Chains A and B, each alone.
Chain A
Amino acid sequence: GAGVSQSPSNKVTEKGKDVELRCDPISGHTALYWYRQSLGQGLEFLIYFQGNSAPDKSGLPSDRFSAERTGGSVSTLTIQRTQQEDSAVYLCASTRSAGWTSGYEQYFGPGTRLTVT
Chain B
Amino acid sequence: AQKITQTQPGMFVQEKEAVTLDCTYDTSDQSYGLFWYKQPSSGEMIFLIYQGSYDEQNATEGRYSLNFQKARKSANLVISASQLGDSAMYFCAMRGLDGSSNTGKLIFGQGTTLQVKP
Beyond A103-B52, A105-B50, whether A56 also contacts B43 by CB under 8 A is: no
Expressed in whole angstroms, the minimum distance between the Cβ of B63 and any Cβ of chain A is 18
Q: How far is the CA of A103 from the CA of B59 in the complex (A)?
A: 11
Question: Counting CB contacts under 8 A, is B105 at the interface?
Answer: yes
Contact A48–B110 (Cβ < 8 Å): no
Q: Is B68 an interface residue (CB 8 A)?
A: no
User: Does any Cβ of A come within 8 Å of B56's Cβ?
Assistant: no
Distance of A10 Cα from B75 Cα, bound (Å): 34
- Report the count of interface residues on B (CB-CB < 8 A): 29
Which residue of B has the minimal Cβ distance to A111?
Answer: B43
Chain B residues, CB < 8 A from A91: 45
Stretch at the interface among A19-27, A64-72, A76-84, A92-100: A92-100
Q: Roughly how many angstroms separate A44 CA and B91 CA in the complex, as a whole number?
A: 12
Assess whether B101 is interfacial by the CB under 8 Å rule.
yes
Q: Nearest-CB distance from A53 to chain B (Å)?
A: 10
Mask for B29-72, Cβ within 8 A of A = 1, else 0? 00111010100001111110010100000000000000000000
| A89–B43 touching, CB < 8 Å | yes
Contact for A100 among B44, B97, B111, CB less than 8 A: B97
Q: Scan A36-48; emit 1 where CB is below 8 A from any B CB, else 0.
A: 0000001111001
Q: Knowing A100-B95, A103-B50, A105-B50 touch, does A56 contact B44 (C-beta < 8 A)?
A: no
- Interface assignment of B84: CB less than 8 Å from any CB of chain A: no
CB pair A100–B96 under 8 Å, yes or no, is yes
- Min CB gap B28→A, angstroms: 14
Q: Do B31 and A33 touch (CB < 8 A)?
A: no
B90 within 8 A of A: no
Cα-based distance from A96 to B109 in the complex (angstroms): 23
User: B-side interface residues toward A, CB under 8 Å?
Assistant: 31-33, 35, 37, 42-47, 50, 52, 91, 93, 95-97, 101-111
Binding site for B on A (CB under 8 A): 31, 33, 35, 42-45, 48, 50, 56, 58-59, 89, 91, 93, 95, 97-111, 113
